[in-house]
């Protein structure tokens, strides 16, 4: 269940660490994007995206996630220090994880998203707050 993963993160050290971990897991990092323009340039190449909310061009992560999910069919998980910004959910996206994220958390999140994408049964990781896909609100 290897996925092509887009990393949308403007802190380069965080982004390269994520890139290294997903590579070690056998996935293919598509690109690191620090802003909306770069993220959308790689949208058609990605199957899964890990998206921060506040990027180099401002708080564009929610809009990026929405476009990736709804227009390009990308599975989107938000990784952010500000999970309250997506408290009501983002239609079409999977959920949100509060930063900081450990390597174990990241591995569990990526495994879950890849399994969901492959339509396999998967239990959501403890730290992942799922959105209710029907209405965009948080699932309980």
The CATH number assigned to the domain holding 86 equals 3.40.50.2300
Total-model pTM: 0.93
Mention every residue, 6+ apart, whose C-beta is less than 8 A from residue 70. 91, 92
Q: How far apart are CA 129 and CA 140, in angstroms?
A: 8
Q: What is the mean pLDDT of residues 75-94?
A: 93
Categorize the per-residue pLDDT at 99 as very low, low, confident or very high, splitting at 50, 70 and 90.
Answer: very high
> What's the pLDDT tens digit per position in 42-56?
999 999 999 999 999
Domain-located, residue 77: yes
Q: How many other CB atoms are found less than 10 A from the CB of residue 99?
A: 16
pLDDT beyond 70 at 105: yes
Measured CA to CA, the distance from residue 77 to residue 53 in angstroms comes to 11
Residue 105 in any domain: the answer is: yes
Q: Kindly tell me if the per-residue pLDDT of 69 is higher than 70.
A: yes
In this prediction, residue 133 carries a pLDDT of 56
Whether 74 is in a domain gets the answer yes
Residue 125 belongs to domain spanning: 4-130
Residue 26 lies in a domain: yes
Domain assignment of residue 117, yes or no:
yes
Helix (H, G, I), strand (E, B) or coil at 111: helix
Give me the number of domains the chain comprises. 1
Q: Does the pLDDT at position 137 exceed 80?
A: no
| Domain membership flag for residue 140 | no
Quick check: is 102 in a domain? yes
Tens digits of per-residue pLDDT, 30-40?
A: 999 999 999 99
Check residue 21 and give its pLDDT: 98
For residue 137, tell me if it sits in a domain. no
pLDDT score, position 1: 73
Q: Tell me, what's the pLDDT at 140?
A: 37
């Amino acid at each position: 269940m290897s996925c092509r993963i887009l990393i949308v993160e403007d802190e380069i050290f965080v982004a390269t660490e994520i890139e290294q971990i997903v590579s070690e897991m056998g996935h293919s990092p598509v690109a690191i994007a620090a802003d909306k323009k770069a993220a959308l340039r790689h949208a058609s190449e990605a199957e899964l995206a890990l998206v921060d909310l506040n990027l180099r061009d401002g708080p564009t992560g929610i809009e990026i996630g929405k476009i990736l999910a709804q227009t390009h069919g990308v599975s989107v998980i938000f990784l952010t220090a500000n999970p309250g910004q997506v408290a009501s959910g983002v239609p079409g996206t999977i959920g949100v994880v509060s930063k900081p994220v450990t390597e174990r958390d990241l591995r569990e999140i990526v495994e879950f998203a890849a399994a969901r994408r492959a339509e396999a049964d998967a239990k959501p990781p403890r730290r992942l707050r799922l959105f209710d896909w029907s209405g965009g609100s948080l699932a309980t």
